[in-house]
Amino acid sequence: MSLTTDTGPTSVHDLAECLTVVDGGSAVVAERGDFSRRIPARWLRLMGVDAANMAPATGQRRFRSTTIPPESRVRSVAYQESGGFWEVRFEGETEPLELTFDRITASDSRERIEGPEPTVFSSADQPARALDFDTLDSPAAVRSLLEMVLRFGYARIHGVRPDQSSLRELVARFSGTDPAIQRPMVIEEEVATGSEAPHSCAGPEPHVDRPYLDSMPRYLLQLCTRDSLAGSDLVLVDGMNAAQTLAMEQPMMAAELSRWPMLFTREGTDFSYQALMPILETGADGSFRRITFNDRASVDFMCPDDRLQACSEGFDHLARILEREGLHHRFRVQPGDLVIIDNHRVLHGRTASSAPGERTLLVGHLERAAVLSTWRRARSGNLD
C-alpha cells in the first residue's frame, strides 16, 4: 500500500519558495516568485546536491541516470532552515534527498547561466569600464571587471607590466585552474604599422578574430607592450547594437543572415583553415548571441541560388551599419594597457595612420566557461 499522499504547499516565506507534492507523488510543483515548474519525481531525484548524490571533487552526479526507477514517487518534502535546503523523501528510500531551489531554477535563470544581462554600448559610462592592475588581487575587483565584460562586451585594465608573464598571470586569474576547461596557453604578437609601410597589419576595419576556426576564440586579451604609432586609435564596434539595428531596419535581411552560414577561410602556403557559421546567431529565446563579421575572411554563403541575392544585400547593409559612428568607441592605448574583448559580440580594429611607427600587442584567449566560473566564484567570495 502506498504511503504517498498529495500535500499542501510547504513554503518558506523569507525566500518565497514553495514545493508541493502532486499527482500522488509522481511530481512536485516548485514555485518562487514568477517561476513555476512541474517536475516529475524521477527527474527531481537527479537534482540532489547532497554528498550521496554529488562528488565533491567534480560537483557532478555519482551515478548514472538510468539507475533511477521510472516509477519513482515523492513521499514528502520539508524545508530545513538550519541547512538552507529542501529535504525530499522518496518511497522505497530511507535517506532523504537534499535539494536547493537554485538547483531547481538553474536552467531558467539567465543570470546564473549567461552572467549579467548583456547591453549595448553607452558612451557615458565608457571611462568607468577600466580598472587598475594593482586592484585585481581583490575578488570584488575581479567580479567588477568580468561583469563589465559580460555586460558590455569589453573592459580595460591600466598599469599592466608590458610582458608575457603579466598576460599569463591575468589569464590564470580570470580562467581558474580547472584542467577540464583550460587549453595550452598561446600568446601571439601582433605588430600594427603605419599604412604607408610595406607590411601593414590586417585591418584597420573592424572585424572579429579567426572566424575560419570551428572554435572561434571567445575572449581576446590584447596587451600593448610598445606604441610609437601616432594618430591611430583602437576601435571597438558594438555588434549587438548593429544586429538589433539590422533587425529593426531590415528584418528579412537579418533573418537571412541568421539562417544561411557564411564560409570563412584563411589560406596560406602551409595552412588552410575553413569554417561555416552564420553571420548572426540567436538563442532559443530569439535574443542576439553572436556576430561573426570579417570582410577579409568571408567567401560565400552556403545557401540556395535563389537566396544569394537576399544574403548578399543583408551582408552589405550590415557592413554599412557597422561603419556608423554611433556604434564606435575609440581610444588610445599605451604600453601597459590591456583590453578584454568579447570576440562574439564586439568587433575590433584601428584607425588608419600614415605616420611611421609601430604598435605591438600581445594577444591571449579566454574560454567563456572559465570566465563565468571565475565570475561566479568572485561573486560568492570564494575566489582565492
CA dist 252 and 167 (Å) reads 43
Q: pLDDT tens for residues 124-156? A: 777 778 888 888 888 899 999 999 999 999 999
pLDDT score for 197: 40
Q: What is the grid cell recorded at 210?
A: 579567426
CA distance 236 to 253: 24
The confidence score (pLDDT) of residue 232 equals: 77
By percentage, how much of the chain surpasses pLDDT 90?
39
What's the chain look like in SS3?
CCCCCCCCCEEECCCCEEEEEEHHHCEEEEEECCEEEEEEHHHHHCCCCCCCCEECCCCEECCCHHHCCCCCCEEEEEEECCCCEEEEEECCCCCCEEECHHHHHHHHCHHHHHCCCCCCCCHHHHHHCEEEHHHHHCHHHHHHHHHHHHHHCEEEEECCCCCHHHHHHHHHHHHCCCCCCCCCCCCEEEEEECCCCCCCCCCCCCECCCCCCCCCCCEEEEEEEEECCCCCCEEEEEHHHHHHHHHHHCHHHHHHHHHCEEEEEEECCCCEEEEEEECEEECCCCCEEEECCCCCCEEEECCCHHHHHHHHHHHHHHHHHHCCHHHEEEECCCCCCEEEEECCCEEEEECCCCCCCEEEEEEEEECHHHHHHHHHHHHHCCCC
Assigned CATH class of 10-108: alpha beta
Burial class from Cβ neighbours inside 10 Å (0-12, 13-18, 19+) for residue 101 reads buried
Residue 121 to residue 153: CA distance in whole angstroms: 8
Q: pLDDT tens digits for 33-56? A: 888 889 999 898 888 877 888 787
Q: 307-315 long-range CB contacts below 8 Å, 24 or more apart?
A: 307/256, 307/260, 310/252, 310/253, 310/256, 311/256, 311/257, 311/260, 313/253, 314/246, 314/250, 314/253, 314/254, 314/256, 314/257, 314/279, 315/257, 315/262, 315/279
| CATH 3.30.2020.30 domain locations along the chain | 10-108
Q: Is 52 within 8 Å of 62 (Cβ atoms)?
A: yes
Taking residues 223-232, report their average pLDDT. Answer: 81
Q: What pLDDT was estimated at residue 74?
A: 94
pLDDT of residue 341: 96
Q: Is residue 199 predicted with pLDDT exceeding 80? A: no
The pLDDT value recorded for residue 286 is 76
Position 23 scores a pLDDT of 92
CATH number for the domain whose boundaries are 114-380: 3.60.130.10
Q: Is the CB of residue 262 less than 8 Å from the CB of residue 292?
A: yes
Q: Which three cell numbers stand for residue 325?
A: 559612428
Instruction: List, by residue range, all CATH 3.60.130.10 domains of the chain.
Output: 114-380
| Half-sphere exposure in the Cβ direction for 152 (13 Å, CA) | 25
The per-residue pLDDT for 270 is 83
Q: Report yes or no: 80 and 17 within 8 Å, Cβ to Cβ.
A: no
Q: CA nearest 318: which of 278, 263, 272, 350?
A: 278
pLDDT average, residue stretch 264-286: 87
What is the structure's pLDDT at 34? 82
Which stretch of 16-20, 152-156, 181-185 has the lowest confidence by average pLDDT?
181-185
How many CB atoms within 10 Å of residue 111?
Answer: 11
Give residue 228's pLDDT. Answer: 77
